[in-house]
Amino acid sequence: MSRGLDSSSQAELAKRQFAIINLLQFLDIGPTPVYLTDGPTPVTWDGRTYESIGTLLAISDMTEEEDLKIETVDITLSAIDTDIVKLFLDYDYIDRRVVIHRAIFDANGSMVQPIGTPALVFDGRLDQPRLVEDWQSKSATLGVSASSHWSDFDASGGRHTNDTEHQVLFPGDTFFVNSTETQKDIKWGKE
């Protein structure tokens, strides 16, 4: 299916050999977005560099259907850097945006710059995290599920009042630092 692809991408798909890789964006998690790819080398596209984690990135199959339903995708990151694990442990990643593009490359050429414009295949929100640590091999596997952006169709606007989420939006601001502390002896009304 070439619907929505530019002419250079369509021409590459018409060849006998080509390579397709995923470009994954974790947005609104931590102070800066995280860009990853399952390609063999880092990829530069749209002014961003996607760090290669090769076969250590797995994305479940995605299908396009006529039925109206909320699409989901499972993303698994194996043997990942502790900085990425720290992002998921330190920040509220539930309902944060994840975007997946598929890029086409010449199978015999450079895997640094995609041919044409990568196709958007998923845009959704993170939910259901899973972190499995193997203490003997000193490795971690992080899995998250994501639902399409229609999953929060009925959500009401607003913000949580905690320091972690506030730091994402306003780094260095200390407004919510003490928001989790409570006073035990609060008197209401007249005595």
Q: What is the pLDDT of residue 101?
A: 92
Given phi > 0 = left and psi -120 to 50 = alpha, else beta, which region is 10? alpha
Helix (H, G, I), strand (E, B) or coil at 57: strand
Q: What is the pLDDT of residue 1?
A: 47
85 is written with which tokens?
Answer: 């694990």
Task: Work out whether strand 72-78 and strand 139-148 pair parallel, antiparallel, or are unpaired.
Answer: antiparallel
Taking only the tens of pLDDT, the chain with its 191 residues reads 455 777 777 777 777 777 888 899 988 877 888 898 888 888 888 899 998 886 667 787 776 666 656 678 888 887 666 666 776 777 677 778 889 998 888 766 666 677 788 888 888 888 877 777 777 766 778 888 888 765 554 555 666 677 777 777 788 888 888 777 766 666 677 76
Q: What is the pLDDT of residue 99?
A: 92
CA angle 95, 101, 102 (to 5 degrees): 145
